[in-house]
Amino acid sequence: MAIFRSFKPFHPSPMTAALMLLFAAPSWGQQADAQRLERVTVTARAAPALDVDHADVGSMGNTLGQTPQSIGVIGTDLLAATATGSLSQAVKLDASLADSYNTTGYIESLSVRGFLLDQGNNFLRNGLPVSNFAPLALENKERLEVLKGVAGLQSGVSAPGGLVNYVTKTPQREAFTTATVGADGNGGSKLHLDVNTSLDALGVRVNVAAENLRSHFEQAHGSREFASVALALQAAPGTKLSADLEYHHKKQPSAPGLGLLDANGDGVGDTLPVSNYARLNLNNQSWSQPFEATSGNVQFALDQQLSADWQARLAASVQHITINDRLAFPDGCSSATNYVYPGLCANGDVDIYDYRSEGEERSTWAWDARLRGKVGALGLSHRISLGVAGRSLNTDLAPKQAYNWVGTTNINMPVTLPADPSANDLNTNSRERATDVYGSLVSDLGMSVQSFLGWRTSQLSRNSARSDGSRAIAIDQTVNTPWAGLSWSPQLGAMLYASWGQGAELEAVPNRPSKFVNAGQVLPTLKSEQTEVGVKWQADARLLLSAAAFSIDKPYADDQPTASGIPLRLAGGKTARHRGWEFSAVGQVNKQLALQASVTLLDAKYSAALDPALVSQKVTNVPTVKASVFVDYKLQAVPGLSVNGLLTHEDGKTVNSDGSVTLPSAWQLDAGVRYRNRMLGKAVQWSLNVENLTDRSYWREAPTQYWGGVYLFPATPRTLRAAVTLDF
């Protein structure tokens, strides 16, 4: 890990960084030899195409239209057209995705098909596992791929909602330099440089960015610096070497969520506050410190063409993340007759805790070796994939953290409170290891029928202990996650499919001794199961229509009461069943109109639980209906001019476990306009985007955290973003 420990935060001003990059860019571009590189990806610096035809995350090798899985792809062209700069903005672009405790200045989370993804096991970077415990940088991402549903075949241990693969930009055949200068209505600014060149036979792609972060939340301004380098070398005929290195530093105060008001005084929040707190940040004490994260990733890969039908790949990666997690955290209310938890007192009072967890370190190692090829057997054609993979996730925290009550403030009239940074609470460190053996077989059973079989065996080892060595627990397990599918293509461009699969995941009891008898314990592995049927139709060479129906059963840990009054958390104590429909249309309707539209109908309820009252209750913070429609239209009357709009709608999110509080139905309209022309012989793009055009005020999400806290997050107020992009 020495390579990552040597990272030192570099904090140039955005203007300094821009001048350095702009002066360097032309000299790099002059060194380019455009004919030495094989084209390995499609650059999307023009208007959005939205006609992606493949995704690596599916692992089947088929095009999206011939893959018996639900997969969504959000490409760099769509990210640019919508001025998307964060994961929470990206989730608006697919109706199967949703926020989960996503706020300014903190690590973002994601739910798919109503299931919260695991930050350590549900995210890949170029096909290799990474931790999502770090702010996401999109400047060097070519696309975000989302496999929806159980992904036991692809990842072994992971939550059943889906699997996210961040695909990074790679060197291109043609040399170019693109500089973007952006600003927003809050006073923020950003400079980004994307340089593609070659040094003799070595292809080089560099992305560098510096940004002044200005949030709509009060006292939540920050900054970030980012740099990445991608290398590609055709070492010999059939032999390709590649590497990808990334550094990201972000420092910004986080804005915690609010909670339900306890209107009837029974000690539990039960009433939504009015939704006019879009700019309120309770992390506003004079002693409040910013959340800070520094992350580094290094990946290497060797691709070898063994013959016309067989290929081999060996890839490895290492990631290191250092976090200082600090804020004035609102949680519960002690100023009423009955202590309120979760929630706030009826008058808006809320307790504040001085929380500081300094020097958190998380490291992830991963490797993958696979062999793919074609064979003929029993008169049929088969595609085979065999592989061995390994990964490790280590969490090393400081011996103690601070979580100290410092007083009570009010959401309507904030109060100045004293600090108490005393580190009194022990932390829990953990180690997780997995070695996987996997394989898949795709067989052509005739002119129009294909079968898909897959299997993954994971040898898991997980242990944890408190920082003083107490409560040491270790679990070793072997888990099998099979997958099977069948597809039928009645005509060219159309496919019907059915699939079944299993997934597995690990859970740990939160390290809160006051809340759980077995705090910090690692629980046995649980297995989820999914059945899915769907249809895909390539309506046009560049337009894909699809529909899918699915049912997923996922067991959860649940809390059993004890004589001490503190519950015991048990593995598999309750089961949720998520059933739903997904519809999507993605691609080019014609030369002028591009479309990315999706609708998800979801029924997510508990089918079993230790508490009988929970059975048949809806899973909280999961919409029953979500729609997302993005349209981009190029005006023929004005060459180079295009307009776009993104309309999103959500309905049916419950806030508390008994379903008595539901977020009101909400919709939002974003809009944008872009104009491409030439100035002094250079291509220039002018962009203007408005998020929440009508400035609607509403509660966007209401996640329940694993410790029982329920939090409300408001929609982003109307925000203007402008950018100018120059192609050298």
497-513 burial by CB neighbour count: b if 16+ within 10 A, else e? bebebbbbbbbbbbbee
Number of Cβ atoms within 10 Å of the Cβ of 447: 6
Residues 364-387: tens digit of each pLDDT = 999 999 999 999 888 899 999 999
- Return d(Cα 634, Cα 619) in angstroms, integer: 42
Structural contact between residues 317 and 295, judged by C-beta atoms closer than 8 angstroms: no
> Could you give the C-alpha distances from 163 to 98, 226, 475, 481, in angstroms and in order?
14, 25, 24, 15
What the block records as the tokens of 594 is: 């591009």
- Return d(Cα 348, Cα 270) in angstroms, integer: 13
Nearest to 167, CA basis, from 44, 294, 85, 57: 57
Nearest to 688, CA basis, from 701, 671, 702: 671
> Could you give the C-alpha distances from 668 to 81, 89, 448, 647, 700, in angstroms and in order?
17, 12, 42, 6, 10
Output the pLDDT for position 377.
87
Nearest to 191, CA basis, from 724, 727, 728: 724
* CATH 1.20.120.790, applies to 2-727: no
> Could you give the C-alpha distances from 480 to 118, 367, 458, 508, in angstroms and in order?
19, 19, 6, 20
- Return d(Cα 351, Cα 282) in angstroms, integer: 10
- Tell me the average confidence (pLDDT) per consecutive run of 10 residues in the chain, 728 residues long: 40 40 37 39 50 82 90 94 94 95 92 93 95 94 95 87 95 95 97 96 97 95 97 95 98 95 94 90 95 97 96 98 96 95 96 96 97 91 96 95 96 95 92 94 93 94 87 84 96 95 83 79 85 95 94 92 92 94 95 95 95 92 97 95 97 92 96 94 95 96 88 96 95
> Could you give the C-alpha distances from 431 to 393, 397, 510, 519, in angstroms and in order?
6, 12, 15, 17
- Per DSSP, the residues of 632-698 read EEE-SSSTTEEEEEEEEEEE--B-STTS--BPPPEEEEEEEEEEEEEETTEEEEEEEEEESTT----
Q: H/E/C letters for each residue in 237-257?
A: CCEEEEEEEEEEEEEECCCCC
Q: Could you tell me the pTM of the whole model? A: 0.91
- Return d(Cα 517, Cα 358) in angstroms, integer: 26
Write phi, then psi, for 93 (nearest 5 degrees).
-90, 0
- Return d(Cα 482, Cα 10) in angstroms, integer: 46
Element (H, E) at 618: none
Output the pLDDT for position 716.
95
Under the phi-then-psi rule, with left for phi > 0, alpha for psi from -120 to 50, and beta for the rest, what region is 284?
Answer: alpha
Structural contact between residues 555 and 526, judged by C-beta atoms closer than 8 angstroms: yes
Element (H, E) at 20: helix 14-30
Output the pLDDT for position 31.
39
Output the pLDDT for position 511.
65
Output the pLDDT for position 12.
44
Q: In what order do the strands lie in the sheet with 70-75?
A: 70-75, 141-148, 162-168, 123-125, 128-129
Output the pLDDT for position 514.
80
- Return d(Cα 215, Cα 135) in angstroms, integer: 15
- Return d(Cα 16, Cα 10) in angstroms, integer: 12
Question: What is residue 19's three-state secondary structure?
Answer: helix
Output the pLDDT for position 515.
81
Output the pLDDT for position 27.
37
Query: Which is it for the CA torsion 132, 134, 136, 139, positive or negative?
Result: negative
Q: H/E/C letters for each residue in 682-726?
A: EEEEEEEEEECCCCCCCEEECCECCCCCECEEECCCCEEEEEEEE
Number of Cβ atoms within 10 Å of the Cβ of 138: 21
- Return d(Cα 362, Cα 397) in angstroms, integer: 8
Question: What is residue 17's three-state secondary structure?
Answer: helix
Q: How many CA atoms lie within 13 A of 135 on its CB side?
A: 28
- Return d(Cα 286, Cα 230) in angstroms, integer: 42
Environment class of 636 (CB within 10 Å of its CB; exposed 0-12, middle 13-18, buried 19+): exposed
- Return d(Cα 277, Cα 348) in angstroms, integer: 12
Number of Cβ atoms within 10 Å of the Cβ of 613: 10
| 453 CB-near residues (< 8 Å, 6+ apart) | 440, 441, 443, 483, 484
Residues 560-584: tens digit of each pLDDT = 999 999 999 998 999 999 999 999 9
What the block records as the tokens of 517 is: 């008898």
Pairing between β-strand 162-168 and β-strand 123-125 as defined by DSSP bridges: parallel
Element (H, E) at 535: strand 522-540
- Return d(Cα 439, Cα 271) in angstroms, integer: 51
> Could you give the C-alpha distances from 101 to 111, 258, 291, 702, in angstroms and in order?
10, 11, 15, 8
Provide the residue ranges of all domains of the chain, joining segments of one domain with +: 2-727
- Return d(Cα 715, Cα 695) in angstroms, integer: 9
Output the pLDDT for position 509.
79
Angle at 81 between CA 78 and CA 83, to 5 degrees: 105
| 114 CB-near residues (< 8 Å, 6+ apart) | 98, 161, 578, 580, 602, 604, 619, 622
Nearest to 185, CA basis, from 691, 624, 708: 691
Residue 295 CA from chain centroid, whole number: 16
Output the pLDDT for position 47.
52
What the block records as the tokens of 343 is: 């929630």
Residue with tokens 């791929």: 145
